Amino acid sequence: MYSILKPNYVYRNISDDIADHDEDYDAEEWHYNGRDVFRGSLDRSYEWNVYWLYNEVKRVGLAEHDPDHPEIFHALWFHDDPFSMLFQEEWKVSDKTLWSILSNEAYQDCLEDDFKTVITKSLNTNIRLMTPELLTDIPEIHECLKCGKKSLLPLNGCSEIKMSSYVGPDCSVLFVDDSYIMYTAPADSRVWSTLTPHRPQPGDAHAPSEPEQVPEPPPPQPDHHHTPNRHSEQQLTQEHPPAPQSP
């Protein structure tokens, strides 16, 4: 999940298991973005204030608060699909997989190596497969100028290497998960601004004809409240000391 409080940071510990530091914590009930949840204790592995959120049985999201201004916060939620989870948006899951648009020959070619080099094979086409993992760290293509081999990893044994962007000006992007199920991004998705540095700028003579995407403004701060638990009142006071009152 991309952080909203800390742009470009990605939360990767997104298991729905209870966090170790919350195992014996007497959690309070909080209300975030219209949802009633139980908030765990402060996760001290982060430099800002992060609290994992739970329903009665499992972890369902997190709340990130500015350490200096706790009233500034964002709630992030777990989703059923990886793209919606990553961007906190409503992506559409297709009922088709990548295999439905491949020729018989291309499918058999992928089948021969048990589908382990599908993305590498796609480098010789103008289609770029984009998984959630690739989106968090978009790679470059290593191309040998002598033998023509292409890879996302360094090419051992090749001396003349050309580096190029994974998402070039003439490429089409297909969003797929690890099972190669295809997804459609919302028109105002954050994914477009993520891809922008790796594509030609609007107005470039070599840029594909597609509408310019305008980054979505940050959402308004939602209201939240909680039901205090007298057993953890002292800890909350330590984590968030009351602001000084004006004379």
pLDDT of 127 > 90? The answer is yes
Q: Where do the structural domains in the chain lie, given as residue ranges?
A: 20-88+219-239, 92-184
Contact 184, 130 (CB under 8 A): no
Residue 198: the pLDDT is 56
Task: Give CA separation, 82 vs 75, 98, 215, in Å.
Answer: 17, 17, 21
pLDDT tens digits, 192-214: 988 876 554 444 433 333 333 33
Residue 7: the pLDDT is 86
pLDDT tens digits, 216-231: 444 444 455 555 544 3
Q: How far apart are CA 172 and CA 184, in angstroms?
A: 13
Question: Residues, the chain, total?
Answer: 247
Q: Around Cβ 36, how many Cβ atoms within 10 Å?
A: 11
pLDDT tier, 113 (very low <50, low <70, confident <90, very high otherwise): confident
Residue 182: the pLDDT is 97
CB-based burial of residue 64 (10 Å sphere; 0-12 exposed, 13-18 middle, 19+ buried)? buried
Residue 224: the pLDDT is 59
Contact 190, 216 (CB under 8 A): yes
Q: How far apart are CA 165 and CA 93, in angstroms?
A: 27
pTM given for the model: 0.76
- Per-residue pLDDT, averaged over 171-186, amounts to 95
